[in-house]
Structure formats: C-alpha cells, structure tokens
Structure 1
Amino acid sequence: FTLSSKMKLLHSLVVILAVVFSTCNAASPAEWKSRTIYQLLTDRFASPSSDSCGDLSSYCGGTFTALEDKLDYISGMGFDAIWISPVVTNTDNGYHGYWAKDLTTVNSHFGTSDDLKSLVKAAHAKGIWVMVDVVANHVGPVNFDFGQITPFNDASHYHSYCEIQDWNNQQQVELCRLSGLPDLNQTDSYVRSTLKSWISNLVTEYGFDGMRVDTTPEVAKDFWQEFNQAAGVYAVGEVFNGDISYVSSYQGAALNAVLNYPFFFTVRDVFQQKKSMREIENVFGPSGSYWSSFSDVSLLGTFIDNHDNPRFLNGQSDVALFKNAIVAGLTVTGIPIFYYGDEQEYAGGSDPGCRETLWPNYNTDSEIYQLVQTVNKMRKDQTLSTLNQTQRYADDQFYAFTRGNVFIALTNTGTGGNVQRSITYHPYSEGTKLCSVFNSGSCVSVSGGAFSVSLQNGLPDILVPQ
C-alpha cells in the first residue's frame, strides 16, 4: 500500500466506525418499549433559586443545570427516560418552548448549548435516555412579522392566513393557524428540507434518544414520515383526540407512535368520574379496539396527566382513585409517561395551572413517589414490557388483567371501598402462591382452580407468583 492508499483506507474505517457508533447509540422504537418516561417542563422542574414563581404564564427559572443536579430524584422513582421541553430560542414568554423564534440557537433561559450537552451526557451516564419535545407545525406569535423568525423569515414559508375553526375539517386543521400561531408550509421545498435537516442535526449534536412531536394532526402525514426518518430515533406524536380510529391513523403513516389520548380519557372516566370499569374492557379487553386499531400498542405513550390538561387530582381529590389510575398507566401495554409533580400530589387546574414549579418539593418519602418506585421496580424485575396483556375479570367496579404471570387488580370504589372477587380465569397452576408487591406478607394461593382477590380501602394491588 502507498501512504495515500493507507490514508484512504484509514479514513474509510473511521467513517464506518462512526456510522456503526452512531447507529448503536440511536435508540430504536423497539428499544424504547422497555423504558419508563418522566415528563417535565424544563422551566418548572428545577431551578438554581429557591424562589417561588409569581406568574406561571411566564418564565419561572428552571434550567438544564439544575435539572442535571436532580436526575437522581427521577431515577430514584425507577424512571430511565426523561421528556424535556423544546430547547430552541422562543419568542417572549415562551417558557413552555412551543413558540419558536430561532431554531438554530438554544433557549438561553434554560442555559447554554454546553449546559444542554452536559445534561444529556449526565443522563446517559445514569442510564437515562433523553426525549426532546419538538415543534414543526408553527412558530411563535409574531402575527405577520416573519422577519423575527430564524430561519423561516419570509411569508412564502407559511400557509396563507386562516384560523382553525372546525376540527372536523382536516384540510383546515393542516393549513390554518392554531391559536393564531403562524403555520409553516411543509410543502414548500425550503421549509421541508430545512426542518428535516434541523431535526437530524439537533438529534446528532445533542445525542437525543427520542422525540415527542407536538401538534401532529396539524401537518400532513407524509411530512412526518420523512421527519421521523431524518431524526433517526423513536418519535411519539401528540394527537389530542379521543377518537381511536383517528388517533391510530397517525401511527406508522406519520410517526412510530402516538400518545395514547384515548386511554387518557378512559382513565379520567373510570377513576376520576367513577364510571363503569368496563370502559377499560372496551379498549383493552379480548375484543378491545386498541388491538385491532393500532399497528403496535406497545409503542404508544401511555399517560394519565400532562401539561395540557388539568391534573387528575384537580377534578378528583381521592388519592386512592389516583393510585389506581397511576398503576393502570404504569402497567397496561405501552410506554408509560409520568408527569412531574404527580408524585407530590400536585392538583393544578387548566394551563398554566397544571405547570407548577416542583421546587422545593422533592420529597422521596411521599406516598406516590414510593408507589411509583415499587411499580417501576416490578416492571424491571418482571420485564413487564415483553409480556402479553390478558384481561382476567371485568365489572363496573373491578378490573383485572395479567402481563405474563403478573396480576394487576384495579378498582374505582375509592377510599373506604372494599371489593373481593374470585378469579377463575388465570394462568397459574394449582397451589401457586401470589404475593402483593406493596405488602410482601399479603399473599393468596390458587386452590380448586381459583383464588380470591381483595382490594381494601379502594387501593389497587399487583400480585406476583413466589
């Protein structure tokens, strides 16, 4: 070999290794299935100051560095992924991140580019993946003063002015403005290619493992497919709708997965409003609509609270019902997403009320923190994400299912309610002893092909064979 040919060969090897390394570090949808996600608002989770926030509609002081210092609080609950707010520079008061002003720079209220890289590196060192929230539908509220926006600084980059008024008109949903926010035209070749390059570079530069995609139905599905491919990581889209057929149409045709909004509404019905638990049977039962509607239920983002809705406890103060909702969200098929502050029993109302500052409330001994820690440990110990879900019992006040050999029992009776059911449809052999993950001394045995489940004081239970 000449020196020149040796150098060329060395360069080729470096390129190959770089590709292999980047591929190995890119988190595939399949790999995300075993993760549990803690959703937070960067501006509200942790601050270098202990000052309270006087105005939830503006910046409160949360930063990347302060978040990095609190990663153990998150991992202590058993979460191995975090979903953070959009990271780009926003227009005034865009504390939430959804009002992009400059896609090429990091929001200085949260910190510097190096601070963000440090956060991701620190998270990865603790085994925590980082999901970034992204917006490709609209920019900040600049009306028609597009010169404020980088790089989309011309009227040609946007759809003609109109407001979404009829959410049943899909063309209007895709072409018109959401809440007056300038609507990007993804059919414009510059806009389309720039957005794809942007997300590719963002993921690569900061090492993000996944992305949550805002306002998914407001953009045509074919664009999202290309956007998802350009990112090269798991993407879960926001389709804020309870219609299963509509929401499911965005999985695969647009993105890897969607947030399971239909289940969110079911949880609110069953546990917050105490409607019949057969609503769960309708979606997750033997003939449940999820199995036939979604291309892969195990990839859906499952949640019971988020930043766009009043918190569960705002509409139902009974913590026993809240615990049932949490256990359901953490154990049904899907990738669990847990909203920050729920572990401290936050009860904020409509946006921005549901976007409280977490500081200084980092109590690791709180009831919900401990509950979540126990359930997440069970998920890992039993490799729950790999196990099939099977309904075992359903009536108005009791619902039970298994994931493999793990038995989950839920009730909507609330505090003071006691329910007992005999379970005859189950996967256990005669004599099998099942014990509660919440109380190891509470056990039942299969006798005569059946076992009895008793839920006391309206609390859920999870039984595991010994």
Structure 2
Amino acid sequence: MKKWVYMLMIISLFFLNGLSAHAAEKENRKWQDESVYLIMIDRFNNGDQSNDEDVEVNNPEGYHGGDFQGVIDQLDYIKDMGFTAISLTPVFDNEAGGYHGYWVKDFYKTDEHFGSIASLKKLIQEAHKRGMKVILEFEINHVGPKHTWLNDGEKKDWFLAVPNQEKDLPLLNQNNEEVKKYLIDAGKWWIEETDIDGYQLKLQEDTSAAFLNEFAKEVKTVKENFYLLGETKNADSKEAEAFLESGGDSITDYPLAAELREVFSETNQSFAPLFSRLEQNQANFSGTALIGTFMDNQYTVRFTNNMVEKNEHPGPRWKQALTFLYTTPGIPFVYYGSEIALNGGEVPDNRKQMNFRTDTDIVDYIKKIGSLRSELPSLTRGTMDVLYEKDGMAVYKRVYHEETTVIAINNTTKTQTVTLSADELAADMELRGMLNNDLVRSDKDQYHITIDRDESEIYLLSNKSGINYSYFIVLGAVLIAFFIFLGLVIKRSRRQQS
C-alpha cells in the first residue's frame, strides 16, 4: 500500500511541475542583477537607544538616532521589497554634528552614534545571510572641519586646501604619498575587517587619477568581485573617465536622473530625452549595465517634491518612474523613504526621518517589479530596443538569449493602444503580462497592446497557450493513479471485513 502512496505523490509532483511556466533562470549572479536600497544611517531607524547621545529628532541638522542595529532590525523589510543590496552613507567616526557621516574624524573607527565595529560586522553578516550585498560610501576627499591633522605641522602637505569657514571641508592631497597610503590602507582594512562588498567614492575635479588607479587596484586584491562606484554629478566629465580608466566599475548617472525627474513628475511628457540619454551611455560606456541609476539621493531634492510642486499624486508617478528604473540598463539605487513617497527639499530637508507606519501601496508595487527584475535575466542583461514612443506612452523590449520581455508604460492621462508588428516581435506568439496578468495574442502577425492611464505592464513573449495537451495527459495520469489507489483501498477494506 505504501508503494502506491509514494507513486501517487511522485505523479502529483510531476503534475504540479508540468503546470508551472518558468522564465529563463539567471546563472551566476552579477552586480548588474542587483537592486540597491540607499540608507542614510542616522535617519533610517533607531534600534539601540543606548547610543542616543545628542539626539534631537526635531532638528533637521541634528542626530535622529538611527544606527546599525536599526538597519539590522529592518533587513527583512528591505529584502521583502526585493532589494538585493544596501548602500550605507559613511560609517566613520565623525566630528560633533556629523550625522551624515561626511565630517570624518577617524577613518579606523565607527561613529559612536551608529554603534560599534562589532555591530557593523553583525549588520553585514546578517545582510549576507539573506543573500544581500553591502556597499559603503568611503570618503576619499575630505576630513572634518576641525580635524587634528590641520594643527599638525608635519601634515601641512596633506591638504590641497584648508577653508576658513567651519562647515567647508579641508581637501586632502591624494598625490601626497602618505595620504595615498593612509587612504588605501584604510580602504583595504575595512574590507578585511567587515567583509563589505563595494565602495561608493565621491569624484571631484581635484580627485587624483593616479590615486584612483592605485586605490582601485589595491582594494580589489582583497576581495573578488568587489564593486567600485564613482559618485559624480557629471557622468561625462574627465574625473568620471579617469575613474573608469583607473579600474572603477561604473558611475552614478545624474544626467539620467535629471531627465527621469522631469519626465515622470507629471503626465504626457515625451520619453525621448530618456532614450537619448540611454543611447548616449551605450556609446560612451562599455559597462552600461553597471551604471548606478536613481531618482534621488542624499544630495538631491526628493523626487516627491517635484511632483507635489506640480500638484501630481505621488503614488502613480513613483510607480511609473520605478518601472522604468527597474527595466532599463543600470543598477537601480532607491533612496530610503521613496517607498512611502517621503517628501523633502534641499539638504537637510531631503534627509527626514523614515516612517514605517504609512501606506504600503508603493511598497507592494516595488515587491512586484523587484521580483520580476530578479526572475527575468532580460531585464538586467538584455539588449534594449525602443518600439514606440509618443507624448508619455512608451514601449521597449529587452532580449537576452531566448527570453524577450516587452515593457509598456502609459504615463499619459488617457488609455493608449499600440500596435507592434512581426518585424518587432516574433509572429504567432503571445505577450503574457507579469504585473497585471494582461494577455495579448498575435493577430495576423500584429500585437495590439492596450494600457490604461497611469499603468504599466511587463510582458513575457511566449508561445501561444492554446490547448495544453500535456496538461490533460498529466491530469489523466493523476486521476488514473487516484482511482487505482482508491480501488485498492476498497478491496483491502472488504478483505478485512470478511
């Protein structure tokens, strides 16, 4: 009797597997497959009140109590949204008032407001347990305005400039051999000590190309597949070019972010500037899939602020923008609070406290597109071709090996219908909607896609479903096995009664 039970279980499992449709699976995970949640530590979550020194939650330039433990406590929340990595603002010990992490006092200590090095190690370990990578913003250009080095006569040549104003930061001379060695040694030490996965470096006109070359070479010897991202407001600048030539993996795309904010902060805006920027990236950079793309960050006005100024509702605008961000080449960086449409103007207003007790509408949407970005290799590794673009309606496709996805974004005030031909997509197939379960079958070698206002769809190009004969064969096998099993049970029961 047990044999029949096992057989029934095996057939049932085969039946269930036969019914499910799978997209192409990704082989070894690469950096271009990541989606990153960007956190300003002090403003995210207070998990350890024992380090709440000088906390003033109502002061926009004061400490708000966020710490490493607070991030640890919310790792599941971040992972559940589909993020595969986090990026942290600087963790180094700062001078008084350096809630943001940019007034470095000691490159070999964590700031006491954030927690100990042991707590940071735990944060990174917990992230790794969840399959998440950790990027750390590493300050290579400045120290705090009152740093002790400024009063050390032997370190006079360590600086290129020493500003008079207290809040302006002293500029380090990266061509000085002692400075170069100090920063490189510190960079390697943090990797060895904490097992972080990448650095984000701020690039300026004064940033030394020779230093970047040596820094990149040295830190990458410590850990395989270590990611170096250059933070620059001009992606086409000489410093960006020098960074990439010196071993940096990629840069942040501020020009694209500016176009994204303009297009998606209101409806009926042409996508042409966005596609033009992506084409420009393709021509200028060999690794476009590694470019850091974003809507806003700790240096910019919040994207929500742009749409509020235009009397637009944040929910639909954020969803449309995130759909584009998640389905075009680049690694999306999403600033904490974007999932709740956190508002804010210039610094420090753009660094408000995170609120975890708000509407989850955008959170749920991020979960959907994050899941699809992880499941569909074409969204992170595929080629990209624009199929249609007009006044806020856009359709484009991503192709990777045998997988083709079609993304349709209707950022207009009306329902839109777009017809695609067999020249653009393979004939006699169907488009299966992965976001809203839409289904578009080819009609005389054409595909008629209809999208409601303020809606998007991510389609997977598939064979026409038609009559699924294998489904009925497997179903029949399961039913036959069941009736045989039932007959044997009845027969045995009669024997026992007799």
TM class by shorter chain equals: 0.7 to 0.9
Looking at structure 1, the residues matched to 216 and 369 of structure 2 have their Cα atoms a distance apart, in angstroms, of 31
Corresponding residue for 2:130?
126
Report deviation, 1:245. Answer: 5.7
Give the Cα separation in 2 of the matches to 1:100 and 1:148.
Answer: 15
Cα deviations across residues 101-144 of structure 1 (Å, max 9, x unaligned)? 111211110000100011111110110111011111011122x8
* Residue 283 (str. 1) matches residue 277 (str. 2): yes
The letter of the residue matching 1:379 is R
Residues 73 and 370 of structure 1: is their aligned pair in 2 closer, same or farther, counting only changes over 3 Å?
same
Aligned residue type for 1:403 = R
Mapping 1:345-384, distance limit 5 Å: 345-361=341-357, 366-383=360-377, 384=379
Matched, 1:53 2:57: yes
- The alpha-carbon distance between structure 1 residues 426 and 100, as it changes in their structure 2 partners (threshold 3 A), is farther
Cα deviation, 1:65-96, whole Å, max 9, x if unaligned, reads 12111100000011110001111101111111
Shift of 1:350: 1.3
Moved more, 388-397 or 95-104: 388-397
Partner residue of 1:433 out of 427, 430, 448: 430
1:145, distance to aligned residue in structure 2 (A): 5.7
Cα offsets for 1:324-346 (capped at 9, x unmatched):
11111111101111111111111
Structure 1 CA distance for aligned equivalents of residues 259 and 422 of structure 2: 24
For 1:315, the equivalent position in structure 2 comes to 306
Counterpart residue number, 1:299: 290
Per-residue CA shift, 1:391-440, capped at 9, x if unaligned?
21122322221112111122332xx4322221237653333221222212
- Counterpart residue identity of residue 118, structure 1: K
**Which residue of the other structure, out of 229, 241, 244, is the alignment partner of 1:252?**
244
Structure 2 residue 145 is the aligned partner of structure 1 residue 146: no
* Secondary structure at 2:123 match in 1: helix
- For the 8 Å contact 1:302–1:335, the answer to whether it is kept is yes
Residue 264 of structure 1 aligns to which amino acid in structure 2? A
TM-score by length of 2: 0.77
Give the structure-1-normalised TM-score.
Answer: 0.82
Q: Percent identity?
A: 26
Verify: 1:265 aligned to 2:266, yes or no.
no
Secondary structure at 1:307's aligned position in 2? coil
Render the CA deviation track for 1:152-198: whole Å, top value 9, x for unaligned: 983221014469xxxxxxxxxxxxx9972100001111001111111
Deviations 1:6-55 (A, max 9, x none): xxxxxxxxxxxxxxxxxxxxxxx983111111111111111137999211
Give the secondary structure class of the aligned counterpart of 1:60.
coil
2:94, 2:321 → 1: CA distance? 34
> Structure 1 pair 454/136, CA: closer, same or farther in 2 (3 Å)?
same
Give yes or no for contact 2:318–2:341 (8 Å, CA) kept in 1. no
**Contact 1:38–1:339 (CA under 8 A) maintained in structure 2:** yes
| Contact preservation (8 Å) 1:106, 1:113 | yes
| Higher percent of residues as helix | 2
Change (3 A) 1:192 1:408: same
Measure, in 2, the Cα distance between the counterparts of 1:247 and 1:258.
10
Q: Using the alignment, how far apart are the partners of 2:173 and 2:249 within structure 1?
A: 22
The CA distance in 2 between the partners of 1:388 and 1:248, in whole Å, is 24
1:67 to 67, 71, 78: 71
Aligned alpha-carbon RMSD (Å): 2.6
CA contact (8 A) 1:217 1:239 kept: no
Structure 2 residue corresponding to 1:214, chosen from 193, 197, 202 = 202
Q: How far, CA to CA, are the matches of 1:148 and 1:117 in structure 2? A: 33
Distance 1:245 1:160, change over 3 A: closer
**Runs in 1 of length 4+ with deviation above 3 angstroms?**
49-52, 144-149, 160-163, 215-218, 243-248, 425-428
Match of 1:173 in 2: none
Give the letter for the 1:146 counterpart: W
Cα distance change, pair 253–346 in 1 and its aligned pair in 2 (3 A): same
CA distance in 1 between partners of 2:458 and 2:343 (Å): 26
1:344 maps onto 2:340 in alignment: yes
With over 3 angstroms needed to count, the CA separation of the structure-2 counterparts of 1:133 and 1:160, relative to structure 1, is closer
Alignment correspondent of 1:446: 442
- Among 425, 438, 463, the residue aligned to 2:459: 463
Contact kept, 8 Å, 2:37 with 2:334, in 1: the verdict is: yes
Matched, 1:328 2:320: no
Q: What secondary structure is seen at the aligned counterpart in 2 of 1:393?
A: strand
2:401 is equivalent to residue 392 of structure 1? no
Contact 2:431 2:461 (C-alpha < 8 Å) held by counterparts: yes
Distance in 2 between residues matched to 1:458 and 1:153, nearest whole Å = 62
1:58 deviates by 1.6
CA distance in 2, matches of 1:320, 1:117: 38
What amino acid is the match of 2:189? Answer: N
Q: What letter is aligned with 2:159?
A: Y
Deviation at 1:148, TM superposition (A): 7.3
CA offsets 1:353-405 (integer angstroms, 9 cap, x no match): 111111443x5x71111111111111121123222222211223222211121
Aligned length in residues: 413
Residue 313 of structure 1: CA displacement?
1.1
Q: 1:151-230 residue pairs with structure 2 within 5 A?
A: 154-161=155-162, 180-230=168-218
Alignment CA distance shift 1:135-1:429 (3 Å): same
Shift of the 347–296 alpha-carbon distance from structure 1 to 2, 3 Å rule, reads: same
Structure 1 unpaired stretches of 5+: 1-28, 164-176
Counterpart-to-counterpart distance in 2, 1:391 and 1:178: 50
Tell me how far apart the structure 2 counterparts of residues 417 and 231 of structure 1 sit (CA, whole Å): 52
CA contact (8 A) 1:216 1:237 kept: no
Q: 1:447 and 1:39 mapped to 2: Cα distance?
A: 44
Aligned counterparts of 1:355 and 1:145: Cα–Cα separation in 2: 28
Question: Is the contact made by 2:257 and 2:293 (CA closer than 8 Å) also made in structure 1?
Answer: yes
Check whether the contact 1:47–1:359 (CA below 8 A) recurs between aligned residues.
Answer: no
Maintained 8 Å contact 1:244/1:262? no
Secondary structure of the corresponding residue to residue 463 of structure 1: strand
Q: Which runs of 5+ in 2 are unaligned?
A: 1-27, 50-54, 221-225, 463-498
Summarize the Cα distance change of 1:251–1:371 in structure 2 as closer, same or farther, 3 Å threshold: farther
1:352 maps to amino acid:
P
